[in-house]
A and B are shown apart, each in its own frame.
Chain A
Amino acid sequence: MQNLSFSVRRFFSLLLSASASIVVWLVTIFEDTLVSSHLLGETALAAYTHIVPIYSFMLFIGTAIAVGSSVCYTYEIGKLNKERAHEFFGQAVILAIIAGCILLGVNTIGSSLVLGIMNPTADLAPYINQFMKWFPWVSLLIPLSCVLMNMVQADGDTRIVNFHNGILIIGNFLLSWILGGKYGMEGIVLGTFISSLVGLIILSLHFFQKQNSLRFKFHLNFKDVLVAFRFSAVEACEYLYLALLTFLLSQFVTRYFDENTLTTLSVMFEGLEMTVIFGGIWQAAEPLINIYRAEENAVGIRRLMHYVNGTAFFEGLFVTIGTFVCAPLLVLLFHIQTPELQNSTAAAIRIASLGLLALAFVNLYNNYYLHEHPWFAMFISAMRNLAVPVAVITLMGIQFGKTGLWIGCALAPIFTLGLCALIFILKFGRTEFPLFLNEFDQNCYYQFDYPMTPAAIVSLRDQVAKSLTIEGVSPNIRMKAMLLIEEMNMAFIEKNKGKMHYGECSLLAKEDSVSLILKNSGKLLDMTNLEMSVSNLRAYMVTSLMVYQEKRAYVLTTSYNRHVFEFPKA
C-alpha cells in the first residue's frame, strides 16, 4: 500500500462507492421484490415480475443521460475546459428533469395504457394498480438521481455517494417494510419514493462541499446531446441485446429441452444481472483515465490500467469462487422447491460461473474502448451480449445436451475475450493492443509519484530538473519549475499538517514548450490565485512566481488539486 501511486490510491478510494452505486438501484428493486413476497405473498411477487421491466426502462433512461454526460464532463475537466464541462453538467441536469417530467406524465396519464401493454391476470391487476399510484413520482426522481450519482462520483465525493447508497439501501428496506405492512403494495412504492427523495437531497449536499467542482450552467444543444449519448449508446444497446438474448435462448430451450431447463436458464439470467458489479471497476477508473486521456498521458494510463486489470482479476476470481460456493443458496433464493431441480440448477450455476473471470475483463475493456472507439465498443457489446453467447450456447446445447448449455454459458465470455482480442489485433495492429496508446506514446512524458514529505519533494524536484535538462530546457525556466515544485508542495505540507498525503507530478515535453502538472490530495488550495493570503515567506514566494507565470491553471478534479503550468523551453 505504501508504494501505491497517487492515481492508484484515488482509484481504490473510488472503487467501493462506484461498485455500490452501480448495484444500488438493482438492490432497491430486489428489496422491494423481497418485501412484497414476504408481506403480501406470491401473487404480489408475480405482480412485481411485471413491474421490474418498467423499473429497468426508467433506469435505462437515467443511465443513458448520466453515463455519457459524466464521460464528457471528466474529459473536459481533464482538458482544462471548465466552462464546457459545466455545460455538459447543466445539460445532463436539464435532460434528467425533462425526462423525469415526461416519465411522470406518461406513468400518471398513461398508466392504463401501461397496464394494457402488461396485460396482467385479474388477481395481479390490483397490485399493479396500487404500485402505479406512487411509481410515477419515483420515475420523476430516477433520471435526476442517476445523473447526480454519476456526477458526484465523477467529482470524487465518495463520502456523499456512500452515504446516499447506504440511505437508499437501508432506508428503502426499512420504509418498504414498515409502509408495506400498513398500506400494502402502495406502501412499498411510497417507501422507495421517500428513500430516493432523501437520497437525492443527500446527493445535493455535495454542492455545499468545498471540493465541489460541479457548476450548473444552463445549456441544451442538440449536437452536445448527441455527443453525450454517443457514450451512452453501448449501454443502451446492452439492454436491447440482453432482451434479444433472453428471447432467443428461451425459444431455443423451450423447443429442444424441458421446462426445468427453462427455469434454470431464468435463474441464470437473474444471476447475470448481478455481474453488473464488474462495471464498478470501470466507473471508479473512468474519471482518472479520462483526465489522463485529456492530458495525452500514456504513462499514467498504463500505470493505472495495471492496477485496474489486477482489480478486475481479483474481483472476477472472488465472484467466481463466491458463486461456485454459494450456488445452492442462490437457488434457494429463487424459491426453487424440487430437490432434483435445486441440484441441477446449482450445478448449472457452478459450471457457468467459470466464465465470470473472462466476463470481468470483457466488461472492463468494452467500457475502456467506449471513449476512443465507440464503434468497436459497440461491436464488443454485440459480441458479448448477443452473438457469441447465442452461437456458443446453442451449439454446445445441440452437441452435448443440457450440460452443454451450461458449459456454453461458461465458454461464451472466454470466446468473446479471445475473439475480440484477435479482431483488435487484426484491425488495429499489435502495437495498439490493448490500450490504443500509440498516438499518446509519441508524447514525451515523465511521471513521478511521491509521498508529500520534504525529502521526497526535494528528490522529486531534482528528478524533474534532470528531465528538464534532458529536454533542453533553459536554466532559468528549469529553476522556475524546480521552485514551483518545492514551494507549492511544501506549502501543501504546511496546510495539511499531521496527515500523510500523496502527489503526482507529470511533465509533458513538446517541441518548444513543457507542461508541468501537479496533482495532490489533501486540503483544496488554488495556488494560482493571486488573491491568496500571504502569511509567510513561502506563500509570498509562490505568489511571486505566479505573477510571472502567465500560463497557469488550477482545476479541481475529482476532489483533488490539479495545477497545470506551461513554460517555453527557452
Chain B
Amino acid sequence: MEIVKTKENSSLTFALEGRLDTMTAPQLEAEVNNSLEGVTDLAFDFAKLVYVSSAGLRVLLAAQKKMNKQGKMEVRNVCPEIKEVLDVTGFSDILTIV
C-alpha cells in the first residue's frame, strides 16, 4: 500500500493506494501516530484504495477516537465496495464519510 501524506497548516490528508489490510495497517498506524500532533482536520482519501479489512478499520477507529478530542476527521472518495463494508460493520455511522 502506498501512503501519500499532505499537510497544510493544521490539516492533514492521507491518500491511500492499494489494500489496507493485516500487513499494511501497521504502516499506516505508525504514520498516523507520528503525525497527529497539532492536527485539527484529518482526512483519509480512499480514491485509490481498493480494499480494507478489520486491521485497517482499527486504525481508522483509533484515529477517529483521537480526533474526537482535537478536531474532526473524514473519509473521502470511498468506492461502493468499501462503502458496503463500512455499512455492514456499522462504521459508516461512526466515521464521517464524504
Contact = CB atoms under 8 A, between A and B. Distances in A.
Contacts of B22: 454, 457-458, 486, 490
B25 to A, nearest CB: 11
Contacts of A482: 51
B89 A544 contact: yes
Contacts of B80: 475-476
B23 interface: yes
A295 B91 CA distance: 36
Contacts of A478: 81
Main secondary structure of the interface of A (DSSP, over half): helix
Interface residues of A, number: 22
Interface string A480-516: 0011001100100000000000000000000000000
Interface residues of B, number: 18
B5 interface: no
Contact of A486 (B21, B58, B81, B84): B21
Nearest to B84: A476
Contacts of B82: 479
B32 interface: no
A81 to B, nearest CB: 30
Contacts, number: 47
Interface in A513-570: 537-538, 540-541, 544-545, 547-548
B23 A540 contact: no
A455 interface: yes
Contact of B23 (A458, A487, A537): A458
A490 B22 CA distance: 8
Contact of B90 (A454, A479, A490, A544): A544
A98 to B, nearest CB: 52
A479 B58 contact: no
B54 A538 contact: yes
A479 B90 CA distance: 17
A537 B51 contact: no
A479 B54 contact: no
A313 B81 CA distance: 51
A483 B57 CA distance: 12
A541 B54 contact: yes
Contacts of A458: 21-23
A545 B53 contact: no
A454 B51 contact: no
A458 B90 CA distance: 24
A544 B81 contact: no
Interface string B48-85: 00010111011001000000000000000000111011
B88 interface: yes
B84 A479 contact: yes
A548 B51 CA distance: 18
Contacts of B90: 544
Nearest to B89: A544
A483 B23 contact: no
Contact of B81 (A479, A490, A540): A479
Given A454-B23, A455-B23, A544-B89, A537 B81 contact: no
Contacts of A486: 21-22, 53
B88 A537 contact: no
Interface string B3-31: 00000000000000000011100000000
A545 B61 contact: no
B9 to A, nearest CB: 32
A486 B53 CA distance: 8
A528 to B, nearest CB: 16
Given A486-B21, A487-B53, A548-B88, A476 B81 contact: yes
A457 B23 CA distance: 10
B50 to A, nearest CB: 9
A547 to B, nearest CB: 8
Contacts of A479: 51, 81-82, 84-85
A286 to B, nearest CB: 37
A545 B85 CA distance: 9
Nearest to B23: A458
Contacts of B81: 475-476, 478-479
A498 to B, nearest CB: 18
A379 B61 CA distance: 66
Given A457-B22, A487-B53, A544-B90, 14 more contacts: A454-B22, A458-B21, A458-B23, A478-B81, A479-B81, A479-B84, A490-B22, A490-B55, A537-B54, A538-B55, A540-B54, A544-B88, A547-B88, A548-B88
29 contacts: A454-B23, A455-B23, A457-B22, A458-B21, A458-B23, A461-B21, A475-B80, A475-B81, A476-B80, A476-B84, A479-B81, A479-B82, A479-B84, A479-B85, A482-B51, A486-B21, A486-B53, A490-B22, A490-B55, A537-B57, A537-B58, A537-B61, A538-B54, A541-B54, A541-B57, A544-B88, A544-B89, A544-B90, A547-B88
The 3 closest A-B pairs by CB, nearest first: A541-B54, A479-B81, A538-B54
Interface of A: 454-455, 457-458, 461, 475-476, 478-479, 482-483, 486-487, 490, 537-538, 540-541, 544-545, 547-548
